[in-house]
Structure formats: C-alpha cells, structure tokens
Amino acid sequence: MNMTTATASEPLLRDIYRLIPDLEALYKDIHAHPELSMQETRTATLAADWLRRAGYEVTTGVGKTGVVGLLHNGEGPTVMLRADMDALPIEEATGLSYASQQTVPDAEGKLVPVGHMCGHDMHVAWLAGAATLFAQAREAWRGTLMVVFQPGEETAQGAKAMIDDHLLARFPRPAVVLGQHVMLGAAGEIAGSAGPITSAADSLQIRLFGRGAHGSMPQASVDPVVMAAATVLRLQTVVSREVAATEAAVVTIGALQAGTKENVIPDEAIIKLNVRTFDAAVRKRVLAAIERIVNAEADASGAPRRPEIIPLDRYPLNVNDEWASQRIADAFRAHFSPARVHHSGPAPASEDFGCFGTAWEVPSVFWFVGGTDTETYAKAKATGTLNELPVNHSPQFAPVIHPTLETGVEALVVAALAWLA
C-alpha cells in the first residue's frame, strides 16, 4: 500500500510549485481580511470561486456560510476533506506586512478586533490547493472528492449548523472524513495518532449574586468579588485533588468580571471558564465538582440567590479511527519519510471536526502540521523554551508560509489518495 500511495501521489503533486504563488496570495488575502465565526461571507466567496474555477459542483450557504464542493471522477469511494474558515476576536500583534487591521461588530454588536490567530486561513489555502491538484490530475485517481469549507469552528457552531442544514441528505456519504490543523511544531513535519486526538471542551458562564453596598460599609453587603475570588481559588483544586494522576483534565478561568468603581461593592460577579477532558467519566466528574464548589461558596458567603451556571459551548471528544489512522500514517511515511511523521498523542485543544464522522457514522482522522520556523523550533526545544513560542490563539501566532503551505497541501492529497488511488 505504501508503494502504491507514494507512486499515485506523484502525478497529483507534480504541479504543486506552480500553484504555490497563487495559494500564498490567497492565504495572505484571507489573513488580512479575517471574519468572525458564522460571518465568513468573504472567505466563503473566495473558496467557492476557487472551486468553480477548478470545475467543482459548488453549493454555498450550507449552515449559513459553509461551502461544499464535489468533484466526481468515476467509480470509487467518496472522501471528504474539511477546512475551517473563521477567525478570532483577537488583535493581531505579529507585525507582518499582511497583518489584519480589521475591527468588526461581534454577535452581540460589540466592536472587536479580528485576527487569524489560529491558522484557519492556512487551512483554507491548503484545501484550495489540494482541491485544485485533484482537478488537474484526474487520471491519477477514481471516486468522488468532497471538499468542505466550514464556518464557526471557534464557537462550536459550524459543523452542527452544516449538519442541521441537511448536509447528510444533500451530499454523498463519505468513506472517510479527513482534516488537519496547523500547530506549534517544526514546519514541514506532521503529527497525529489513533484514538482520542483532541479533547472534549465545555465552556461555562457562572453568575454569582451578592448584595451591593458602599465600599465603606461592607457589613451591609454580600460581596460577590470575594465570593468570586474564593470560587476561582477553590476551582483550582478540581484537577489537582479530584482528578487522578493517570487521568487528564484542564480547568481554566478565562474571565472574572465584577464592579465598575473602587468604592462600590457590586451586586454580582461573572466567571467564565473552560474545561478540557479526554474521558466521558472524567468530564462528568469535573463538571459536577465545579457545580458543587460554585454553590458551596455561594452558600458560605450567604448569597441571596443560588448562582446561575450557563453552558456557553461544547466540543465533542475527537477520536481518530484506528484502522484509518494507520492507513494514513503509512501513506505519510511513504511520501514524507518517517523522520517527518511523528506520533503526537492527544492534544488538549478542541475541535468540532469529529461531528462529521459521528453524524455520518464513518471513520474520521485528524492530524497536525507544524507551522513554526524550523531553526526557531529547534533552538527552543534545545533550550527548554518551547512554552515561550507563540501558540494558537496568541496575538503573535503566525505560521511560516514555507514549507507549511506546501506540507499541508501535500498531506491532504496523500491522505485522500489512500482511498482514491
């Protein structure tokens, strides 16, 4: 199988370097014009136009802004390739000549800066490139290629929105669903593994109720600031004291908001937190512990009302099919060489990519492509300073274009050919 896949990829990839300048231009254009989740109209138009020029049947507006392209090429399986399109409400600080200067209203109407600080612009360019190469070398494969440009990954809305918009009824059932993500790692290298690959994630908003008063008369208050502070500190014990060392969980407090003036004790406080887990039982136990601690701290403070615990979004556990993962790993090693393909284990990042395979009840495989300058990464690894490098969602996160762009396009082609060759 290795020899067949390596040989089959050659005619498909022979023109990749002619395509790279156009893909780089597309990447820089999308990077400079990012769009928030479920608002990706410009990006979706660029993707749809690219697919039409390549000869795909194109359907737009799937799940609001999603794009689906189909390329039929004789008898054979259907393979789905997916890329997400949305950016983040983060002000970019990369200093790049094509850095985003965009500021737009978010879903609540608040004006926010927007930046592609998670690499979804690279994902769009990768998929556009792979789609084009398959269209230009139809003699090298058989079957149907389905390419999906998905909205709203950052808010866990997009995959569900496309599925709810009758994706399964409108398009052919794939034999496998494939996707990838640019991450911290040496550019040109690929990592992945069978089994859990990205974590389940739950985001919660906790509203704590107190009784406001003048800052000079705290005895007349029930101080929600103190209540929130005690809650935040106690929540740190969930992982350290309630999750076994052999298990994994992350509890992160991302926001604590209360009050507007230094001499006014407010009526309420808001805590926003995020939970990452790799096991359903651990997830259940962690969420129960959070609820128990929040209510107990409110009781201890004499709160006039029980706290409100509101789910914000949820990502499912993303599990790579074992057989399909091995098939792709073999293909990657044959094409890239074993030195460039690594076993990663699960990552604490979260993705809604797995929703597609689950909905269709077919295998899915997700992997990572390094986007860090190779010399920078090697130096940081040698000095033990990898944690100081910009990661996804950092204002400084910016993959090096080359060889990240080429590697991602090649990886999608090689992986799809493991079924279509």
Per-residue pLDDT reduced to its tens digit, 161-175: 999 999 999 999 999
CATH code at position 273: 3.30.70.360
Are residues 142 and 230 both part of a single domain? Answer: no
Predicted pLDDT at 415: 98
Decide if pLDDT at 3 tops 50: no
What are 168's two structure tokens?
Answer: 């399964």
Q: Span 340-354, mean pLDDT?
A: 92
User: What's the average model confidence in pLDDT over 395-416?
Assistant: 98
Q: Strand 111-113 vs strand 103-105: parallel, antiparallel, or unpaired?
A: antiparallel
The secondary structure of residue 211, as a DSSP letter, is B
For every residue of 212-236, DSSP letters joined together read -EETT-GGG-B-HHHHHHHHHHHHT
Q: What is the pLDDT of residue 387?
A: 94
Which residue in 35, 40, 84, 352 is the catalytic one? 84
155 and 45 within one domain: yes
Shared domain for 183 and 332, answered yes or no, is yes
Structure tokens at 206: 């906790």
Q: What are phi and psi of 411, to 5 degrees?
A: -60, -45
Looking at the structure, do residues 274 and 149 belong to the same domain, yes or no? no
* Runs of H (alpha helix) within 39-143: 41-54, 120-136
Domain boundary among 267, 300, 315: 315
Closest CA to 46 of 23, 62, 63, 64: 23
Identify the bridge partners of residue 112 per DSSP, sorted by sequence position. Answer: 104
At 107, the pLDDT band (50, 70, 90 cuts) reads confident
What domain range is 155 assigned to?
Answer: 2-198+317-420
Q: In this predicted model, what pLDDT tens digit does every residue of 57-96 receive, in sequence order? A: 999 999 999 999 999 999 999 999 999 999 999 999 999 9
Q: Which residue has the tokens 């600031």?
A: 225
Q: Which pLDDT score is estimated for 4? A: 45
- 138 and 85 in one domain? yes
Single out the residue in 315, 332, 358 at which a domain terminates.
315
- Indicate whether 77 and 157 sit together in one domain: yes
Q: Considering its fold, how many domains does the chain have in total?
A: 2
DSSP 307: P
Q: How far apart are CA 63 and CA 107, in angstroms?
A: 16
pLDDT tens-digit map of 109-155: 999 999 999 999 999 999 999 999 999 999 999 999 999 999 999 99
Question: If 0-12 CB within 10 Å is exposed, 13-18 middle and 19+ buried, where does residue 99 land?
Answer: middle
Question: Is the domain of 32 the same as that of 101?
Answer: yes
List, in order, residues 6 or more apart from 161 with CB less than 8 Å away. 38, 63, 64, 66, 151, 152
- According to DSSP, the β-strands at 364-372 and 176-186 are parallel
Same domain, 370 and 415: yes
**Residue at which a domain ends, from 298, 315, 332:** 315
154 part of the active site: yes
In this predicted structure, the answer to whether residue 304 has a pLDDT above a threshold of 60 is yes
Q: Domain holding 177: CATH number?
A: 3.40.630.10
Q: How many angstroms separate the CA atoms of 182 and 152, rounded? A: 17
Q: Which residues contact 246 (CB under 8 A, 6 or more apart)?
A: none
Separation of CA 35 from chain center: 15
- Annotated active-site residue in 154, 189, 351, 410: 154
pLDDT tier for residue 2 given thresholds of 50, 70 and 90 = very low
Clarify whether residues 180 and 204 are in a common domain. no
Same domain, 147 and 237: no
What the block records as the tokens of 197 is 């690959």
* Plot region of 400 (φ>0 → left; ψ -120 to 50 → alpha; else → beta): beta
DSSP letter at 176 equals E
Residue list, annotated binding site for Mn(2+): 118, 120, 154, 181
Judgement on whether residues 12 and 125 belong to the same structural domain of the protein: yes
202 is catalytic: no
* pLDDT digits 0-9 by tens, 231-269: 999 999 999 999 999 999 999 999 999 999 999 999 999
User: Same domain, yes or no, for 108 and 46?
Assistant: yes
Q: Environment class of residue 59 by beta-carbon count within 10 Å: exposed (0-12), middle (13-18) or buried (19+)?
A: middle
